[in-house]
Amino acid sequence: MKKLALLLIGSAVVGTAALCLTQSPQPGVTTRRADAGHGPVVSQMRSERGASSASGHKAEEGRRPLESAASSVDRVGQLLRDVENGRLVLEADDDELDGLDLSRPDAVPLVVRLWARRDAMAAIQWVQSLPEGVLKTESMRQIAVVLAETDPGTAVKWVETLEPGPSREAALESLATRFASTSPDWALRFAGTMAPGANRDQTMIHAFSQWASQAPAEAAEQARGLEDVNLRSNALAAVATAWADQQPSAAAAAAAIVADEIDDRAAQARAAISVIQRWAQTDPASTAAWVAGFEPDAFADTAVEQLLTTWSRRDPAAAGQWVGTMEDAARRDAGYATLARHLSASDPGRAAQFAALIADPSRRQSSFAALQSR
C-alpha cells in the first residue's frame, strides 16, 4: 500500500497547494471497498439544503473532517490535513492510488470521490458548503459518479435537492452520462432538467445515441416527440447513425429517418454520411441506389465520394460499373477520380484504368499525375 503524505504550503486547489506521494504504509486510506449502503442520506440533505458551511456537524474519526474555518481555502486545507493525519479514511484500490497525483489541481475532487464511497452524506455536506466554482463543480461530478455506481436510487433523489447553479448542472450531466448506457430513459430525464443550452442538448443527444444502440425504434419514437426543431433533428441523426451501426440490416430504416424526418440540413448531411459509411460495408448496391436519388449539389458529391471510398475496398469493379451509369459527366468523372485515388496504393493498375475513363482532359491529366507521384 501507499501513504498519502500531504504537504500543505499555502492554499490548495483554489489557491496553491503542493501535495506529494510517498511509499510507505497508509493510515488514511483503506483498500477494501465498502458496501453500497450509505444510509438515509436524502432526508438529511433536504433538511440541510442551502447550508453555507459544514460547521456545527461534529466529525467522526475516520469519517469526516474536523470543523474548519469559513473560507473554502481553509476547508480544503483541513480536508487534506485530515487525510494526512488519518482522521478521514478514504475508500480506494491500489490502481486508483497510483493514478492520484496530489500535486495536480484535480486532486481534491478525486479525494471527494474516494471519500463519498465510504460516507456519501459527509462528502455531500462538505462539497455543498463550498461556494460555486470549479472546485465545487468538479467535486459534485465525482459524487454523482459514485452515487450512480453504488446507489442509483439515492442519486435520483439527491439531485432533486440541489439548488440551480453550475454545480447542479455538472451533477446532472454526470448522472445522465453514467446512466446513458444502462438506463437511457433516466439519462434523458436527468438531461432534460438541465438548463437549456448546448451542454444540455449534447447530453441528450448522447443519451439518444446510447438508447438507439439498444432499442432504436423506441429511441426514434422518443426523439420525434421533442419540440425543439434543432434538438429533434440532431437527436434523430444520432438515432439513425447508431441504428445503422448496430444493425446494418436496418440501415434502410435509418436512411428513411435521415431523408424524411430530419429538418435541419446540417444534421441531415452528417447523418446521411454516417449511414452511408455503415450501409455500404454490407450492402453497397442498395446504398448506391439511395445516393443516386440525391439532388445534385456539393453534399451529393460528398455522399458519392464516401460511398466509393467504402465500396472500392470491397468490390472496386462493381463500384466502377455503378460510376459508369451516372448521367452527369462531371459527377461521373469525379467518381472515376475517387476510385483511382483510393486504389492507387493497393491496385495501381486498376487505378490507372479508372483514371483513363475520365472524360475531361484536364482532370484526367491531374489524376494520372497524382498516380505517378505515388
Average pLDDT over residues 268-275: 92
225 Cβ contact partners less than 8 Å away, ≥ 6 residues apart: none
Separation of first and last alpha carbons in the chain:
56
Q: If pLDDT is split at 50, 70 and 90, which confidence band does 24 have? A: very low
Task: Report the C-alpha gap between 361 and 296 in whole angstroms.
Answer: 22
* pLDDT tens-place string over residues 234-269: 999 999 999 988 877 788 889 999 989 999 989 999
pLDDT value at residue 23: 29
Whether the predicted pLDDT of 172 surpasses 60:
yes
Q: If pLDDT is split at 50, 70 and 90, which confidence band does 284 have? A: very high
pLDDT value at residue 38: 37
Range from 8-17, 88-97, 127-136 carrying the lowest mean pLDDT: 8-17
Whether the predicted pLDDT of 66 surpasses 70:
no
Q: If pLDDT is split at 50, 70 and 90, which confidence band does 306 have? A: very high
**142 φ, ψ (degrees, to nearest 5):** -65, -40
pLDDT value at residue 33: 36
pLDDT value at residue 205: 96
Task: Report the C-alpha gap between 349 and 245 in whole angstroms.
Answer: 33
pLDDT value at residue 258: 92
3-class SS of residue 236: helix
Distances (CA, A) of 115 to 91, 93, 126, 139, 176: 6, 13, 11, 11, 22
* pLDDT tens-place string over residues 220-237: 999 999 999 999 999 999
pLDDT value at residue 31: 32
Task: Report the C-alpha gap between 232 and 119 in whole angstroms.
Answer: 40
Whether the predicted pLDDT of 148 surpasses 50:
yes
Provide the mean pLDDT of the chain.
80
pLDDT value at residue 249: 75
pLDDT value at residue 153: 87
pLDDT value at residue 102: 60
Burial class (CB in 10 A: 0-12, 13-18, 19+), 372: exposed
Neighbours of 232 (CB within 10 A): 19
**34 φ, ψ (degrees, to nearest 5):** -80, 160
